[in-house]
Amino acid sequence: MESYPAIEDHGLIGDLQTAALVTCDGTIDWFCAPRFDSPSIFAAVLDRERGGYFRIAPHDVRYVTKQLYLPGTPILITRFISADGVAEVMDFMPVTGERATDVHRLVRIVNMVRGSMRFRVECRPRFDYAREKHELERHRNGYVFRSRSAALTFHPVDPVRQLMSQGGDVRLEDGDLVAYGTLNEGDTGGVVLETVGTEPRIIPAAEVQGMFEWTRDYWRRWLERSRYTGRWREMVERSAITLKLMTYAPTGAMIAAPTAALPELVGGTRNWDYRYTWVRDTSFSVHALLGLGFTEEVSRYMDWLDERIREAGDHQDPLKIMYRVDGSSDLHEEILDHLEGYRGSRPVRIGNGAADQLQLDIHGEALYAMHLADEQGIRVSHQVWKSTVRLVDWLCHHWDQADAGIWESRHHPRNYTFGRVMSWVALDRAIRLATRTGRPGDITCWTEQRNQIYNQVMARGYHHGRGSFVQAYDENVLDAALLAMPAVGFVTPSDPLWRSTLNAIERELVSDSLVHRYDPVHSPDGLPGHEGTFNMCTFWYVEALARTGRLDDARLTFEKMFTFSNHLGLYAEEIAATGEQIGNYPQAFSHLSLINSALALNDLLDVEADARRRQ
């Protein structure tokens, strides 16, 4: 199990319909196709022996590796440096567009920069989470891996001889391909893997160069649309690219992470599938994307969200907390017993049983996003507004009940304070939308219920003995989700009740600037074991500090967080006590919270600087 790379020792590439992880040693050890939530083709990150991988790396030579992104793009460059030479492997996926397709390409190009180096190429796919056997077909110009439900075509890049010598240096090993080749200074070689079973062909170098240039130019043109010019621009832009990589172009839905079952505690059981679209996560991304100027992405997501609101409102049901990228809601959870899990972290789960939970707060996030989008001229249709009214009316009659909460507890339902706060947000933003646009709605009822929620939270959500808002009514457990209360406007940052809450969270949930979401010992969530600090909560803490006027503390905490990113500026879900990244990776909530914190903190620092100049 020690052969597993660290979760953070990966880069992410993608084509806006699916994605792949590439380790620092040139191994693709996670790739699902044709969509993010499709069965895996390579899954060695979950089982080094059985999961399958595609590796291009030096053979029989000592080397060190360095990894970086081509600036302004998700094109990944892995550098191999030895005493005898320097080589680079460039990995990328050409963007597929907004029409769903089964054809996806992994492009891997090797350039010998200096000296010479012998390479080993291993392609060992394991289709359907390593549940399907496959055969390897040898063709004149390449190879096809074929299973019952899928296929993968191996197209060599011309000149073939430079990376994959013919004859004895190409071996077929029980359905896998292993090849060797020596590159000298100035040589190039490569492979294009395609997720269809077409006849292999030798792809001219000029064609691959065209794929590279088109992909590079696409991403740089996209990034040029960002209007962010503040501090921490490099980290903000990398986070924006990462969020875009996790967006399914045909529908505009953003997944929580491109991986499944990466553990929140190595060796533990908190191993979930995040390859789906959470209403909460993506709705909070609206603020981040609008703040950077990416209105087209927001418009596409709002179209997707509008459909979910119509489905819920028309059936007088609550929103589901998560969906597949196409809007379907069958996320049946199952365990893959044949996979050992990352470094022995079992069970390996796909699907997500939390999909059918009641989580009241997501209605607040959805209306929060709709309100922000409306302020930027992205407005809903008459039919969607009618469905929104029915959804808000449903919430008026159902907000005062126990639910599973933002952290998706698999314990008994509780009266979560955050759920009530976000229900208040839902009604408050619905009132503002109706008032601003002149659209119909039972504003009298909405206002009455909004005020009832506010009064109830103040009466039951604040624990006077602790001097803090608490996780659930009639309990004394703290919850980092409450750090978002000032940002959504429920309390003012100067309110003594809020300041004492922030102080309590700092005392009990903050560890060297990193924030735990809650204490599972005192707040049982139905799961064994503990977990690390949540990156999202740490970024919420930064914003809370900034809004409270503690700008120096906020800036120091924010920049400390940069030291926990990986070498590419990517974040998983959590930070372990050892300082390593854990949980699914990269995590959309971590990156969108980074952007929102940067936007808020940068603006407040500018205000402070202007005030000093005027003195």
Stretch 268-290: mean pLDDT: 95
Span of 67-71, 248-252, 458-462, 610-614 with lowest mean pLDDT = 610-614
From-to residues of CATH 1.50.10.10 in the chain: 232-609
Whether residue 519 has pLDDT greater than 90: no
Q: Return the pLDDT at 173.
A: 87
pLDDT band at 480 (very low <50, low <70, confident <90, very high): very high
pTM across the whole model: 0.96
Quote the distance between the C-alpha of residue 519 and its chain's center: 24
CB-based contacts of 544, cutoff 8 Å, min separation 6: 483, 484, 486, 487, 493, 502
Cα–Cα distance for residue pair 318/392, rounded to 1 Å: 9
Q: Amino acid identity of 261? A: A
User: In the beta sheet, which residues pair with residue 108?
Assistant: 91, 191
Read off the pLDDT of residues 146-205 as tens digits, 9 standing for 90 and up: 999 999 999 999 987 677 754 458 888 889 999 999 999 999 999 999 999 999 999 999
User: In the beta sheet, which residues pair with residue 414?
Assistant: 403
Q: Return the pLDDT at 2.
A: 53
Read off the pLDDT of residues 1-31 as tens digits, 9 standing for 90 and up: 358 999 999 999 999 999 999 999 999 999 9
- Please state the length of the chain: 615
Computed over every residue of the chain, the mean pLDDT equals 95
Q: Degrees (nearest 5) of the Cα angle 37, 590, 222?
A: 75
Q: Return the pLDDT at 154.
A: 97
Whether residue 527 has pLDDT greater than 80: no
Q: Degrees (nearest 5) of the Cα angle 21, 27, 33?
A: 45
Contact 305, 366 (CB under 8 A): yes
Q: Which CATH architecture has domain 232-609?
A: Alpha/alpha barrel (1.50)
Q: Return the pLDDT at 3.
A: 87
Start-end of H helices in 327-381: 361-375
Whether residue 217 has pLDDT greater than 90: yes
DSSP 263: -
Residue 23, SS3? strand
Read off the pLDDT of residues 340-372 as tens digits, 9 standing for 90 and up: 999 999 999 999 999 999 999 999 999 999 999
From-to residues of CATH 2.70.98.40 in the chain: 7-203
Inter-CA distances, 538 with 480, 492, 514, 574, 596, Å: 9, 20, 5, 10, 12
Q: Comparing C-alpha atoms, which of 604, 606, 586, 463 is closest to residue 20?
A: 586
Cα–Cα distance for residue pair 497/454, rounded to 1 Å: 14
Read off the pLDDT of residues 538-593 as tens digits, 9 standing for 90 and up: 999 999 999 999 999 999 999 999 999 999 999 999 999 999 999 999 999 999 99
CB-based contacts of 274, cutoff 8 Å, min separation 6: 255, 256, 257, 258, 259, 260, 352, 573, 584, 587
Q: Return the pLDDT at 167.
A: 46
Whether residue 506 has pLDDT greater than 80: yes
Assign a CATH topology to domain 7-203: Beta-galactosidase; Chain A, domain 5 (2.70.98)
Span of 225-239, 301-315, 358-372, 444-458 with lowest mean pLDDT = 301-315
Cα–Cα distance for residue pair 283/69, rounded to 1 Å: 28
Whether residue 299 has pLDDT greater than 60: yes
Stretch 121-130: mean pLDDT: 98
CB-based contacts of 612, cutoff 8 Å, min separation 6: none
pLDDT band at 615 (very low <50, low <70, confident <90, very high): confident
Q: Return the pLDDT at 409.
A: 84
CB-based contacts of 587, cutoff 8 Å, min separation 6: 256, 257, 274, 535, 536, 571, 572, 573
